[in-house]
Amino acid sequence: MTEMFIVAGESSGDMYGANLVKALKSAAPGLKITALGGSKMKLAGADILADPTQYASVGVTEVAVNLRSIYKIYRKLTAYVEANKPSAIVLIDYPEFNLKFAAFAKKLKIPLIYYVTPQIWAWRKGRVKKIARFIDKVIVAFEFEKEFYKQFGIEAEFAGHPLLDIIQPITTEEKFAHPLRKELGIEGDVKLVALLPGSRFGEFKRHLPVLLGATKEIHKTLPATVFALACAPNIDRKFVDNLSATSDAQFIPVFYRTYDIMRAADIALVASGTATLETAIFKTPMVVIYKLSFITGLIARVVLHLPHYSLVNIMAGRTVVPELLQGGATPENIAREAVSILSPDRWRRMHDELAGIAAKLGTPGASTRAARIILNFIGVK
């Protein structure tokens, strides 16, 4: 039996990996798929060797906390691959781990495919040399990445962004008729503001104070506003409930319905990352924020090579949504931008620009296209 091994180390990779597993199983029912991944890939039919998604972090200091656990998973992975020698290995983002593993797997002469490649065009471009050296096939999620890799002699294939297999754009009418608005008591001119501090508990806690501060500032100008706090499944419910009971900020915690919040909101205050693309697909205007730890922030200033940090602005090649990073992400600055965006003209302009950006992600079916590219590459019909 042909065995494929997939490595996904973060929650977004688990999501993309799950859809890829489904597409691979549909196209090649006899294919055995083993993986590093989370609950979504397991439900899709992959045999999970270990789950690194619970340790996913952003930044140097954040990774250091979980280093021992990650190393144990790495040792388990290398031992399994050396003993079983799968027919191919698919890597999904997660560059620090995956590029180290790729160097190991290359020595075993196992074909290596990178799907949803890391954003090396934004920082640490030197890693492209490792991709050229170790990776046999590159499948990208953004069309502009094809040209980036071409500069380095790497022929990449564009499959489209796998987010479009998970969520679909909605109309303005569907947004304002969304059932969540009624559940939260939104009617008339009342505005719904989504608070999206992040899916990792560490970044959730890091961003929450400034977002809650911003809610108080926004209320001063727009008292008819409801704030919905998106809480992913891994967010500690007791922490949120305690905060809700003790904070003087007015917000409604909503668990396990992040996409509904993105769809229904007039505007989102969102931590930079995949969530900005998800919000853009729903054409929800946004203010992008991000706060790194002190040490990681210092390193980021040195190694980042782009004028923009959010994926939305990078894809546009200009500033479409405001970005407030580190010391600039204050409650006052966030509120000022949010109130400005909620003016009808600026709201409509940003809404329409986000629709154009979402169109650049390709069309639904990315996972199926990627699966076919992978199976053709390894000779499975």
- Write down the pTM of the prediction: 0.89
Task: Kindly report the three-state secondary structure assignment for every residue of 212-238.
Answer: HHHHHHHHHHCCCEEEEEEECCCCCHH
Cα 118 from Cα 127, distance rounded (Å): 9
**pLDDT at residue 318 is higher than 60:** yes
Residue-wise pLDDT tens digits, 323-358: 998 789 999 999 999 999 999 999 999 999 999 999
Tokens of 92: 């999904």
Residues of the chain with pLDDT > 70, as a percent, come to: 93
Tell me the CA distances in angstroms from 44 to 31, 34, 41, 153, one per residue in order: 13, 11, 5, 35
When comparing pLDDT for 228 and 327, which is higher?
228
Starting from the edge strand earliest in sequence, which strands make up the sheet with 88-92, in order?
47-50, 32-36, 3-8, 88-92, 112-115, 137-140, 156-158
Residue-wise pLDDT tens digits, 179-200: 999 999 999 999 999 999 998 8
Q: What is the pLDDT of residue 173?
A: 94
Task: Kindly report the three-state secondary structure assignment for every residue of 234-285.
Answer: CCCHHHHHHHHHHCCCCCEEEECCHHHHHHHCCEEEEECCHHHHHHHHCCCC
Q: What is the pLDDT of residue 57?
A: 55
**pLDDT at residue 295 is higher than 60:** no
When comparing pLDDT for 26 and 292, which is higher?
26
The answer to whether 337 touches 324, Cβ cutoff 8 Å, is yes
Q: What is the pLDDT of residue 163?
A: 96
Least-confidence region, from 3-17, 88-102, 197-211, 366-380: 197-211
**Chain-centroid distance, C-alpha 327:** 23
**pLDDT at residue 236 is higher than 80:** yes
Cα 66 from Cα 212, distance rounded (Å): 28
First and final CA of the chain: distance in angstroms?
A: 13
Residues 6+ apart with CB under 8 A from 60: 293, 295, 296, 299
**Type of residue numbered 299:** I
**pLDDT at residue 288 is higher than 90:** yes
**Type of residue numbered 207:** H
Residue-wise pLDDT tens digits, 105-148: 999 999 999 999 988 776 667 789 999 999 999 999 999 999 99
Quick one: pLDDT band at residue 306, thresholds 50, 70, 90? low
Q: What is the pLDDT of residue 345?
A: 98
Cα 354 from Cα 16, distance rounded (Å): 22
Tell me the CA distances in angstroms from 250 to 179, 282, 322, 378, one per residue in order: 21, 25, 24, 54
Q: Which fold does the domain 172-359 belong to in CATH?
A: Rossmann fold (3.40.50)
When comparing pLDDT for 299 and 135, which is higher?
135
Please state, rounded to an integer, the average pLDDT across all residues of the chain: 91
- Cα Rg for the chain, rounded, in angstroms? 21
Q: What is the mean pLDDT of residues 235-239?
A: 91
Residue-wise pLDDT tens digits, 16-73: 999 999 999 999 999 999 999 999 999 999 999 999 988 765 544 455 567 888 999 9
Q: What is the pLDDT of residue 11?
A: 87
**pLDDT at residue 302 is higher than 50:** no
CATH 3.40.50.2000 residue ranges of the chain are: 3-165+364-378, 172-359
Q: Which fold does the domain 3-165+364-378 belong to in CATH?
A: Rossmann fold (3.40.50)
